[in-house]
Amino acid sequence: MSELSKLEHRDSFDIPETELYPYYDPTPRQKGSYRLEDFIIQRTLGTGSFGRVHLVRSKHNLRFYAIKVLNKARIVKLKQVEHTNNEHGILELVQHPFIVNIWGAFQDCANLYMVMDFVPGGELFTLLRRSNRFPDPVAKFYAAEVALALNYLHTHGIIYRDLKPENILLNHDGHIKITDFGFAKSCRHTYTLCGTPDYIAPEILLQGRYGKGVDWYALGVLIFEMLYGLPPYHQPDNNTILLYERISRGPLHIQWPAGFGERAKDLIIHLMDVEPTKRYGNLHRGAQDIFAHSWFAEVDWDKMTKREFTAPYMPQITGEGDASAFECYPEDNASLTYGQAALDPFGYAFPGFEYRAPSAY
């Protein structure tokens, strides 16, 4: 979802992983067969170069969902077909309490539609900017939930590749939901240059082979940003050349703020190590080095996985369809163009999306 708001925010080894605290749900979600007329479109939650995200309500079960609408011609033009199909396929595969659910996907002549959870608390980015920075226990809570989600993805062979506060949503109970899997990939290693500049790991900049270590690097950046308010190498003038130079030099050159906790500092340094083979999460014990770090000493990981801790911030939600945590966007009558009959030269490119031609309505 937050992928569609990047203009408003920030543009975006052979050792087996130890399966720590794996999440298993014996009652997997039931994915349905949907079409556009099953929903009442309420408002826009986000916009971007490919389309927009709408808050919708089902005419059948009256539940609220978020529908991500992507224009097929724009996806093809910008060469994002693989990323789009990856996002859909991975969301179909995963199920975890800290990852947004997908309930179904379909297409018509012009657009793709992904029916997902509506997560009403808005972005962690918004809460962080409003707070300026988080106290240590608050940052630790969100970092722990993110670490559990990343470990789950890695044990299923998935690299996320776009961790940042904009892609972490807050549910009605204050717990997180990671969203926007447009850069995620099912593989052990890849070479693609992608991500958000402040969060890109050094090995991605070298355009060589990299793996899940880039996600653990991004976790280090996230912890720093939550505790300080800005990423460690942030350039206020958007000078990416200088930014990438500082990333390449590594965390030993970070200018640490006064009063920054030593335990948090130690974990960040180990997560952001320039050498992937020396980085926490990539060593022999895998994610255990992260979960067992002294900064997380008071965290009961089993209870954290089961969401038995009370979240530090409870979104002010007045009802199930309350979207007040999201920015207001001009509607521009965009939804009136959905489902119209037209030539469709690109339907073949998205085989995972059930085809719903206008004549089917």
Residues making up the binding site: 77
Give the side-chain half-sphere CA count within 13 A for 88.
Answer: 24
Bridge-based pairing of strands 111-117 and 102-107 is: antiparallel
Residue pair 316/126 in contact (Cβ under 8 Å)? The answer is: no
Give the side-chain half-sphere CA count within 13 A for 204.
Answer: 23
Say whether 162 is catalytic. Answer: yes
Please enumerate, by residue number, every residue annotated as part of a binding site for ATP: 77
Q: How far is CA 113 from the centre of its chain?
A: 18
- Outline where DSSP puts E strands in the chain: 39-47, 51-58, 64-71, 102-107, 111-117, 158-159, 168-170, 176-178, 185-186, 354-355
- If you ran DSSP here, which 8-state letter would residue 123 be given? B
112 closest CA partner among 152, 85, 134: 85
Helix (H) or strand (E) run with residue 91 in it: helix 81-93
Q: How far is CA 279 from the centre of its chain?
A: 22
Q: Report the first-to-last Cα separation within the chain, whole angstroms.
A: 26
Sign of the torsion angle spanned by Cα atoms 159, 165, 169, 171 = positive
CA-CA distances (angstroms) from residue 202 to 73, 151, 230, 283?
33, 21, 19, 17
Q: Exactly one of 108, 117, 162, 198 is catalytic; name it.
A: 162
Catalytic positions: 162
